[in-house]
Amino acid sequence: MPVQISVPVKEVIKRTYNVKSIRVEVKDPAPFHAGQFLTVTLKPGPEFKRYLSISNSPTEKGYIEFTKKLSDSLFSQALDALKPGDMVTIQYPMGKFVLDESHKKHCFLSGGIGITPLYSMAKYAADARLDCDIILLYSNRTVDDIAFKDDLCKLQAACPRLKVIHVLCETAPDFACISGVIDAAIIRKQIPDYLERKFYLCGPPGMVKAMENILSAQLHLPPQNIITENFQGYQ
């Protein structure tokens, strides 16, 4: 059963030029699973309420974090103006986009801001030392669009069973990445054991649908090995 609480902002973290994370102080959080989401209400009125994934791991104590790609909406403007001490209301946990801990091999496919629940899962798997192997294929337009870039780099260095592969439309000098967009050829080449893995897809609905089609129609993955989270509200 989700709980609703009003909590103070503890920290604001700029992830990229248009992505911000907000950490709210929750001394004794209700139990949640990595990958679940919450509703955030910044002010009265539906325009100030949004669904956002929890972007930190339940292993990190004392706060809950959510991360928003900023648009020109009233909600984004209000979130962009938040500072430590401001109060927000959250309702959590919700959703079934969580890691199947009985499975030993996973692949995360993320487009842009779809990284938020997957970062939470990767951090949780590393912190809890889960007996599993994770490959993250993370697609963005440019290197400047990569949210959690340094955190993922640190996580990968600390956790040999996590492999992060960046896929960029526009490559950057001195940055290890694959050029293009995630397609069947990239998955076959980078993840030869893809048929043994559970896939977790997250991003705008159009991108999730396209990736789901690649996995089922071209790579013949069974439906039970494809788990999706659609960020309704993004095209």
> Which residues bind to ligand FAD, rule: CB under 6 A?
37, 50-53, 67-69, 71, 73, 75-76, 95, 113, 116, 229, 231-234
* Burial (0-12, 13-18, 19+ Cβ within 10 Å), 176: exposed
Q: Of the two residues 180 and 233, which places its CB atom closer to ligand FAD in the complex?
A: 233
Peptide bond just before 93 cis, omega within 30 deg:
yes
Least distance in angstroms from the C-beta of 196 to ligand FAD? 28
Q: SS3 of 195, please?
A: helix
In angstroms, give the least distance from the CB of 170 to ligand FAD.
22
Coil, helix or strand for 103?
A: coil
* Measured distance CA(111)–CA(46) in Å, rounded: 27
- Smallest separation, CB 161 to ligand FAD (Å): 25
Nearer to ligand FAD, 12 or 219 (CB): 12
Q: Strands, DSSP E only, in the chain?
A: 3-16, 19-25, 37-41, 49-53, 63-69, 87-94, 105-111, 133-140, 162-168, 178-179, 198-203, 226-230
Residue 133 or 229 having the CB closest to ligand FAD: 229
Nearer to ligand FAD, 63 or 234 (CB): 234
Residue 182 in tokens: 């995630």
Report residue 207 as tokens.
């991108």
Instruction: Write down the least CB distance from residue 220 to ligand FAD, Å.
Output: 28
Measured distance CA(38)–CA(118) in Å, rounded: 15
Helix axis angle, 115-127 to 149-158, nearest 10°: 30
The tokens for 140 are 């963005």
Q: Which is nearer to ligand FAD, 138 or 194 (CB)?
A: 138
Least distance from ligand FAD to the Cβ atom of residue 211, Å? 16
Quote the least distance from Cβ 69 to ligand FAD, whole Å: 4
- Residues facing residue 229 across a β-bridge: 202
**Complex with ligand FAD: residue 29 or 95, whichever CB lies closer:** 95
- How far is the C-alpha of 78 from the C-alpha of 48, rounded, in Å? 8
Nearest-approach distance from CB 114 to ligand FAD, in angstroms: 8
Considering the complex, state which of residue 65 and residue 133 has its C-beta at the smaller distance from ligand FAD.
65
